């Protein structure tokens, strides 16, 4: 049976779903949900690791994942999960890595359907020209995540 929890993040409330086979969904919401006070046991580690990520003490996740998707989507998500913290790749680079540079639109579509926010870091996939192309969580969140992971922190002028 899938369990659900809602947690606060710097980017809004996140919904987590999973069961004993793994995490099936982590999404950021544009609506306010009541934060879960007692986290289900199967989601405790995911909540802990996400908190560490946002605190800046975690760069890699170690979670069992069980997203729902096609075989192709899962191949894309597995490739995305290998993108190192603090780096980006283009959709074209990702499609080349998967063995078909002509599949760029299919790769972009699969990236957009990624159900496991941050842990499968689709925010690290950008346009070939370096632009922040579409992001299901909103471009402002993508920008925040990339800045959060950047080894070059922007100093405030004021």
Which candidate in 23, 46, 119, 122 is catalytic?
122
DSSP sequence for the chain: --EEEEEEETTEEEEEEEETTEEEEEEE-SS--PPPSS--HHHHHHHHHHHHHHHT--SS----B-----HHHHHHHHHHHTSPTT--EEHHHHHHHTT-GGGHHHHHHHHHT--BTTTS-GGGEE-TTS-----TT-HHHHHHHHHHH-SSPPPP--
What are the beta bridge partners of residue 12?
A: 9
122 noted as active-site residue? yes
The residues that are catalytic are 122
């Amino acid at each position: 049976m899938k369990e659900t929890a809602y947690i606060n993040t710097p980017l809004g409330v996140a919904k987590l779903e999973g069961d004993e086979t793994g995490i099936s969904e982590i999404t950021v919401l544009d609506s306010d949900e009541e934060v879960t006070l007692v986290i289900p046991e199967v989601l405790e580690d995911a909540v802990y690791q996400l908190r560490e990520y946002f605190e800046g003490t975690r760069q890699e996740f170690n979670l069992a994942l069980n997203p729902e998707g096609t075989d192709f989507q899962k191949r894309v998500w597995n490739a995305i999960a290998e993108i190192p913290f603090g780096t980006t790749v283009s959709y074209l680079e990702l499609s080349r890595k998967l063995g078909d540079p002509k599949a760029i639109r299919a790769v972009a579509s699969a990236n957009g359907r990624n159900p496991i926010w941050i842990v499968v870091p689709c925010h690290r996939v950008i346009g070939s020209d370096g632009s922040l192309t579409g992001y299901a969580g909103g471009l402002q969140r993508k920008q925040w995540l990339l800045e959060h992971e950047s080894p070059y922190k922007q100093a405030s002028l004021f």
